[in-house]
Structure formats: C-alpha cells, structure tokens
Amino acid sequence: MGQLRDRMEEDLKLREYSPWTRRKYLQCVRTFAAHYQRSPAQMGEREVRAFLLYLANEKKVSPSTRHVYVGALRFVYGVTLGRPEVVASIPWPKVPHKLPEVLSGTEMERLLEAVRLPRYRAILLTAYAAGMRVSEVCSLRIDAIDTARMLIHVRNGKRGVDRFVMLSPKVLLTLRAWWLIARPKGPELFPGQEPGTCVSAEAVRRALHRAVALCKLHKRVTPHVLRHTFATHLLEMGTDLRTIQAVLGHTSIRSTAHYTRVSAAHVRRTASPVDVLGTPEGKKLG
C-alpha cells in the first residue's frame, strides 16, 4: 500500500495531526492491510467489521487500542479514499474511564532522584513541574523560557493551541545547568542526534522506566503520569480548577474536573451534608 500510505500521510499532515497520531494511524492501517493481504482500497465495510471483531474477540485487544484502530480506518476510508459510507456505521468502542495512576510527593521525589542523566532529569522535572506533555518538553526551544516573567511558552500544543505555564525556580536552575553541559547550538533546548531535531519522546520513556525500576516504584509510571500527578498535586494544594485547566491546556473544564475524582485529599476536605443537618448552616439545604 505504498501510494496509499503516502497519500494518507499527506492527508494527516495537512490536517495537522500530531506525529504520534500519524504514526499510530499508519501502523493500524498497515496491520489491517496485512491481515487480509490486500490494499484497503480493495476492501469495504464487511472486511472492516470482521477485522474489528477479530481484534476484540480473538486478539483480545483493549478498547482503548481498538479506539485508535477505528479512528485510523475512519480516516483512511473517510478522507484518503473518499469512501465515508464504508465506516459510517462503525461504532466507537466504549473505553472504560479508569482513574489515572498518580504518585505521592515522596514517590515523585524518589523518582526524580533516580534519573541519572542530566538531559532526562531536566526533561522529566519540567514535565512534572509544569504539567507539560512529554512531546511539549522534548520540543522546547531556548527562547520559550521567559526568565523575566518566570513562564514557559508552550507552542503548538495539542490541537495547535499555545499556552503559558509556570517556570519554577528549581526548574530554571536545572535547565541552566543542562544548558551549560550541552551548549545546544540550535534553537532546540534538548536537541536530537540530527541537526534541527529534538530528543525523542521514546528515549525519555526509556529513561523514565529505568528510573522507576531503580527506585522500585510498584506503579505503572509513564510520562503522562507525571502530568496527572502535577494536576492532582495542584488540586491538593488548593489551586482552583480554572487555573489548572489553563495550565494543562484543556479546552473543556470537564477534562480538568476529572482530577477531583483522583485526589483523595480533595475528597477528604469535602464535608458530607449529614454533618450540617440540624445546624444553622444546614438551613441552606432547605
């Protein structure tokens, strides 16, 4: 599916899908084609349905992964092949909304101390301290660090939205130490091996997994867990949801409100209505 793959990649880029989504969608469509040993252009709704059932019933693929497959197949048929009728009746899998893993403050300290290499220590510290996605930290440019206002300018975040996040004094010291070590020649703060590139998110994930093993954390920790932990810790420190929403770059407050389900401290601080029955405050209840 060489030509189809190239066209699909062009369509994904034209619609400004993230590099991660482009890579995953292309991989999913390639797996679909390999399953039937035919190009998607030669297949239709029957094959799509049978393949998705195969993933669910025989391969036992999780709903979240099948969600990506559905997105990829909807894109290739609806956009690249111009045959939206093929996927019009294909439902999205119901993905269970599980509470995200969150680290305690003590666990977060242990984890950061276990990161040996200065590059990855700076990246992971910044990810936690500012609630940034790993891709956003990896692609940070030197001119995004505003030391006068103690802000980091996150450019072209999710859905292409820019935002400002806090620049912690601890993070600033760590970034300066990294800059003195690396002396990056280009605009990228964390350059990759090739000129004009930045360090890969996959390299950061490997460094994080090594640190998790080193400090013997018995939790599944990914770079995104640091973002969840940041938001939960802010909430437990008393930061209002609107501020957390702005810092995280959420378009909807509903996404941010999810963290009220995660924070045990937030739940503990919330009084039960039974405690005010029969008191002057209880008159507010009618």
- Per DSSP, which regions of 24-139 are E strands? none
Amino acid at 27: Q
Distance separating alpha carbons of residues 194 and 205, to the nearest angstrom: 19
Q: Is the pLDDT of residue 157 over 80?
A: no
CATH 1.10.443.10 spans which residues of the chain? 105-268
Mean pLDDT computed over every residue of the chain: 87
CATH 1.10.150.130 spans which residues of the chain? 2-86
pLDDT in tens, 218-245: 888 999 999 988 888 888 888 888 888 8
Q: 105-268, what's its fold?
A: hpI Integrase; Chain A (1.10.443)
The arithmetic mean of pLDDT across residues 265-280, rounded, is 59
Write out the catalytic residue numbers.
133, 158, 224, 227, 250, 259
Domain 2-86 class in CATH = mainly alpha
Distance separating alpha carbons of residues 132 and 254, to the nearest angstrom: 19
Q: What is the predicted pLDDT for the residue at 86?
A: 96
Q: Is the pLDDT of residue 284 over 70?
A: no
pTM: 0.68
Q: Is the pLDDT of residue 203 over 90?
A: yes
The arithmetic mean of pLDDT across residues 26-35, rounded, is 96
